[in-house]
């Protein structure tokens, strides 16, 4: 059983691409069924490192992690973006996302989080003429 069908995956990837078109920041999404007994924040930090998100030039990567069966998720940002937005931004974004998740609408919850992250990234790290997409825009599916 797939977590997202092809059309849903395309909509999510399109949301990432649209958000990144406005910023030099990078957004990644990790989705898996379970967090393997760990908490979502720890898994998000692990994937952040694994996917090389800490290696962006301006340290402005954002990772959204979702474990669908565990009903857990986290959104974290690298030092550059976190210094600009602080903890309140991450918490308010999570609240917006959870309003969709409570209704089982993972796709639109993720798109909302991507949109919010993209807006903040564009505010503090607008796209430059020489901007390079440093990380893939696809969904990274964990092993569970």
pLDDT digit string, tens, across residues 89-133: 999 999 999 999 999 899 999 999 999 999 999 999 999 877 778
The alpha carbon of residue 33 and the mean position of all alpha carbons in its chain are separated, in whole angstroms, by 16
Asked whether the predicted pLDDT for residue 144 surpasses 70, the reply is no
Residue 87's pLDDT is: 86
Residue 110's pLDDT is: 96
Residue 39's pLDDT is: 93
- By the 8 A CB rule, do 121 and 63 touch? no
Q: H helices within the chain, ranges in order?
A: 6-20, 40-50, 79-101, 106-124
pTM value is 0.94
CA dist 59 → 25, 33, 131 (Å): 8, 28, 14
Query: What is the CATH number assigned to the segment(s) 6-141?
Result: 3.10.310.50
| Chain segment 57-100, per-residue pLDDT in tens | 899 999 999 999 998 999 999 999 999 998 889 999 999 999 99
């Amino acid at each position: 059983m797939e977590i997202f069908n092809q059309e849903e995956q395309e909509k999510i990837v399109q949301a990432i691409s649209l958000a990144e078109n406005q910023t030099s920041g990078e957004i990644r999404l990790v989705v898996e069924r379970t967090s393997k007994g760990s908490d979502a924040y720890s898994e998000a930090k692990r994937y952040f490192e694994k996917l090389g998100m800490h290696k962006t030039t301006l340290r402005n990567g954002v990772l959204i992690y979702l474990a669908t069966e565990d009903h857990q998720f986290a959104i974290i940002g690298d030092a550059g973006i976190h210094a600009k937005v602080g903890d309140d931004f991450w918490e308010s974004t999570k609240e917006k996302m959870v309003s969709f998740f409570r209704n089982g609408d993972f796709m639109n919850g993720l798109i909302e989080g991507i949109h919010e992250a993209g807006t903040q990234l564009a505010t503090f790290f607008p796209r430059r003429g020489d901007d390079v997409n440093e990380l893939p825009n696809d969904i990274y599916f964990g092993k569970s």
